[in-house]
Amino acid sequence: MLRWRVSQLLVASAVIAATSGARAEDARFPPIRLSPLATAGVWTLAQLVPSPLLVTGSSHVGGGVRWQITPFVYAFGLAAHPVRFFVIEPVARHAGAIELYASPEWACCASNDGTSWIGRVGSRVYLPIVGYGETLAWSAGASYYRASEGDGAAVEVGAYTLFGVLGFTVTVAPNLKRREVISALAIRYF
Partner 1 sequence: MALASCGFVGRILTRNLSAPSEPRKVEQKIEDPRRADARLAVLWVGHATVLVQMDDAFVLTDPVFTRTVGQVSPRLVEPGLDPIHLPSLTAVVVSHMHFDHLSYDSLGMLEQKTKIVLVPPGVRSSMPHYAFESRELDTWESYEAAGLRVTAVPVRHVGGRWALDQAWNSRAFTGYVFEYHGLSVYFGGDTALDEEKFVATRKRFPALALALLPICPTEPRAFMRRVHMDTIEALDAMSLLGAERMVPVHFDTFINSDDQPGDCPRLLREHMRERHLGPDRVAILAAGEQRVLIGK
Residues engaged in binding partner 1 (CB under 8 A): 3-4, 7-8, 10-23, 25, 29-36, 38-39, 42-43, 46, 77-81, 89-92, 95-96, 128, 131-135, 162-163, 189-190
Rounded to the nearest whole angstrom, what is the least distance from the CB of residue 92 to partner 1 in the complex?
8
Rounded to the nearest whole angstrom, what is the least distance from the CB of residue 39 to partner 1 in the complex?
4
Ramachandran category for residue 16: left, alpha or beta (phi over 0 → left; psi -120 to 50 → alpha): alpha
Rounded to the nearest whole angstrom, what is the least distance from the CB of residue 55 to partner 1 in the complex?
31
Contact 148, 107 (CB under 8 A): no
Q: Give 116: exposed, middle or buried? Use CB within 10 Å, 0-12, 13-18, 19+.
A: middle
- Amino acid (one-letter) located at 9: L
For partner 1, the closer of residues 144 and 168 by Cβ is: 168
Rounded to the nearest whole angstrom, what is the least distance from the CB of residue 59 to partner 1 in the complex?
40
For partner 1, the closer of residues 80 and 114 by Cβ is: 80
- Amino acid (one-letter) located at 178: R
For partner 1, the closer of residues 17 and 140 by Cβ is: 17
HSE at residue 140, side-chain half, CA atoms within 13 A, is 1
